[in-house]
Structure 1
Amino acid sequence: MKKKAGPVENEVNIWDSNSNLWPYGFQDLGTSTYDLSSASIPNVPYFDLRIYRESRVKSLIKLHSKDMYRLLEKVHFDGNYYRVKCASSGEWEYCWDLAVRVQFFGKMLGMTLYPKRLVSQKEKRITYRSMIIVNPYQLWDEALVSKFWNLQERVEFLIARILFHECIHVMISLGNHLPSGFGNTDIYFEFRKMIEVSVSRNLSTEYHNVLFRLWNLVLFGASGSESEKKLLERVQEIYEFLINEKYSNQKTGKAFRFPSNNKKIARKYAWMAAVKAGGDMQVSKRVWQVEARRLSIALRELFDGIDTELNNMGFKLNSKN
C-alpha cells in the first residue's frame, strides 16, 4: 500500500523581510486549518463539502496539465503544507511548500495567499510557503447545473477549475523564485512568452497606454513618502499581475471550456489593479474611478493586441502541458 504523504513539519527559521511580495494573493489569513464540515453556503442550511473526491479533482487537472498534476500529487486538500519542490544551488537548498484548503467564504472563487519566505541558516535552506483557498460557491450556477446534474461531479469540476487557475499563479512564481531551470514548466514558458509579446514593438502604443494609467493610479494611491523608484516598481509589479491574470483566465477557460473574454477580464482586473495601486488617497473617488475605467479600456486594447500577435505568430496555448 502506498504510504500517505504527511504534512511538512515546521522548521526553525528566520522570517525574511521580503515575505509579503506576492502580486497574486489578496490577504494573509494565517495558516490554521479550518473545519470544512462546518462550512456554509448562502441560501442553503447545510452543505457538506466533503462529498468531493480528491483523486477525481486531481484526475481532472491531470487531463490538462501533467506538470500541475505533479505539483499537486502529494498535496491533500486539508489546509496543511506539503513539500512539492526542492532544488539545490551552490550550498543552499530551495524548497516550496504548498497547502490547499476548500471552504466557502464570500464570493471570491479562489485566492493564492502571500507566500512566506523562510530561511534556515542552520540547514542552508530557503523555503517558500504558499496557500491556495478554493471557494466553490457557484455550485448552483445555471450553466454548471445544466452540465452536471450530479452534485458530486459538479463540486469536483468546480474545485478542479478553480484550483487549476490558482495553481497557474503558483507555477509562475516557482519559475520566478527557484534557481534558474528548476521552476521551468510549459505554463511558465507560455506566461513569459505572453509577457514578451505584451512589451514588443508592435504593441508599444497599447503597452505604454496601460503603463500611463497605472502610473496615474499609483500616484493617486501614494502616501507621499515613496521614492520614484519605489512607485515605478509598483507599476511593474501590477502590470505583471495583470498579464498573469489574463494568461490564467485564458488558460483555464480553454482547458475547462469556459471561454475567456478580454473585455470582462480587463474590467474586473482593472479595478483590482486600482486597489492594489493604493486607492484614492490623493484624489477624489470620482477621479480615481474615471482613471480605473480608462485603465480597463487600455487593458482591453492591450489584451486584444496580445491575442492578435500570438495568433499571427502561430502560437497557441497548450491545453495539455
Structure 2
Amino acid sequence: MKQETRGTGAKKAFPKEKVDLHAHSILGNFSSSALSFPYLVPVFAPVSFPAPEYLFFSPGFLQLDLNIYREPMIKALIKEQSEDLYRLIKKVHFDGKYYRIKSVRSGEWEHCWDLAVRVQFFGKLQGLAFEPERVVSRKYRKIIYRFLILVNPHELWDKELVERVWNIQERIEFLIAKILFHECIHVLIFLGKTLPSGFGQTDFFLEFSEMLEFANSEKLCPESCGVKSHLRNLAFLSPDFPESSGEKPDRVPELYEFLIHEKYSIKKTDQAFGLSWSNRKVSRNYAKMAALKMGPCPDSGKEGWEKEVLRLKRDLKNLYDRIDENYGSFL
C-alpha cells in the first residue's frame, strides 16, 4: 500500500506491522558492536511535538519526510567550512551505498577507502561513524576500508536551532551538514592512521595528532591522570571481564583517545557551525558513553559504578577546560 503524501512535506505513518518490519530492517543493518550499545534503539521521531519523544510512533502520528533535503545544499554548506571534508563526500550520495573516496598505490598493493552515508531517524545519537570493515583481496592486491556513517537529525526541534533556521527544509539541511561534518572528521582521522607512509595528511589528522600528544603530556596532569584512573576503575568494575578470566585487556589508552577524539571533533564542528556544546555537556555525555564502552553497568555494585562515572565526568570536564586554554596552538 502506498503512503499518503500531504502537502506539508510529511507522510502518514506506516501501519503498525509495517513500522515493525521497517524497524527490523534498520536493526539488521547495524553492526554487532552497534547493537550492543544501549542508545541504538531504532526509533522514529514524530514531528507532532516540538520536543519529540523517542518512541515507536503510533499509526496516528505524522512522520517527517526526510527526502525534502537537497544533497547539493548540504555539500555546499560543508564546502564553505572545509575543502578536505567536501572532497571526502563530493562523490558520495546519501543513499546508504558505498562510494570510492580515495585510492592510492603503495608498492604492489592498492589501498582503497569506501564511504556510505545514510540519513534516517534511529535513536538519541546525532550520528555514528562505524569502525570500518577491512577487506583484503590477495588476488587483486587490494586492501579496502569500508566506512558507514549514519546521520540522525532528531534534534530538528531544538529551540536554538529553530530560532536560527526557521525554514524546515533549510533546518534539516543545516543539521545534516553539521552532523555529517562531525562524523567525517572521524573518518578523515582514521583514514590518516591507515594511509601508507609517504602520502600527505590532512590538517584535521595533524591537528588531532598534536592535540592527542598534548593530552598525554605531563602538562595536563593531574587532569589526564584522573581521567585515566577512573577509566581503569571502571574496567575493574565491568562484569564483562571477571577476575577468574585472567588478565583484563587494557582499554584505557583506546578510550582515552576516544574522549580526546570526540573533544577535537566537537570543537571543530562548533567552530564551523555554531550551536556549541559546553564542556560540562560534552563531559556528561561522553563520560557515560566511555563507561558503557568499557562494559555495561554491573547488576551488583551499581552505586559504585555510577559514582565512578560521576568522578570521570568531573575530571573529564577539567581536562577539556585545560585543553581549551591551549587550543589556539592546535589551529
TM-score, normalized by the shorter chain, greater than 0.5: yes
Superposed displacement of residue 26, structure 1: 6.1
Matching residue of 1:159: 176
SS in 2 for 1:293: helix
Give the secondary structure class of the aligned counterpart of 2:149: strand
Q: 5 Å matches for 1:74-85?
A: 74-85=91-102
Contact kept in structure 1, 2:223 and 2:315, CA below 8 Å: yes
Q: In 2 relative to 1, CA 46–264 (structure 1 residues): closer, same or farther, beyond 3 Å?
A: closer
Match of 2:144 among 127, 130, 134: 127
What is the distance in 1 between the residues matched to 2:212 and 2:68? 39
Higher relative contact order (CA 8 A, sep 6+): 1
Residue 292 of structure 1 is matched in structure 2 by: 309
In structure 1, distance between residues paired with 2:214 and 2:114: 31
Runs (4+) of structure 1 exceeding 6 A deviation are: none
Q: Which consecutive residues of structure 2, in runs of 5 or more, have no partner in the other structure? A: 1-31, 37-42, 49-61
2:249 corresponds to which letter in structure 1? Answer: L
Q: Distance in 1 between matches of 2:114 and 2:76?
A: 21
Counterparts of 1:219 and 1:176 in 2: how far apart (Å)? 30
Q: CA deviation at 1:142?
A: 1.5
Contact kept, 8 Å, 1:100 with 1:132, in 2: the verdict is yes
State percent identity of aligned pairs: 51
Equivalent of 1:27, from 34, 37, 54? 34
Cα distance in 1 for partners of 2:117, 2:134 equals: 18
Asked if 1:87 corresponds to 2:93, the answer is no
Whole-Å Cα distance in 1 between the matches of residues 254 and 131 of structure 2? 14
2:45 maps to 1:41: yes
Q: How do 1:162-201 and structure 2 match up within 5 A?
A: 162-182=179-199, 184-201=201-218
Q: State the Cα RMSD in Å.
A: 2.1
Identify unmatched segments of 5+ residues in structure 1: 1-24, 30-38
- What TM-score comes out, normalization by structure 2 length? 0.79
Letter in 2 for 1:53: R
Does the alignment pair 1:50 with 2:62? no
> Given the alignment of the two structures, is residue 223 of structure 1 paired with residue 241 of structure 2, yes or no?
yes
Matching residue within 103, 121, 130 for 1:104:
121
Distance in 1 (alpha carbons) for counterparts of 2:169 and 2:318: 40
Change (3 A) 1:227 1:167: farther
Conserved in 2, the CA contact under 8 Å of 1:58 and 1:160?
yes
Shift of 1:127: 0.6
Give the TM-score, by structure 1 length. Answer: 0.82
Amino acid at match of 1:301: N
Partner of 1:20: none
Match of residue 279, structure 2, among 262, 274, 287: 262
Q: Give the drift of 1:282.
A: 8.3
Shift of 1:231: 2.4
- Contact kept? 1:28, 1:114, Cα under 8 Å: no
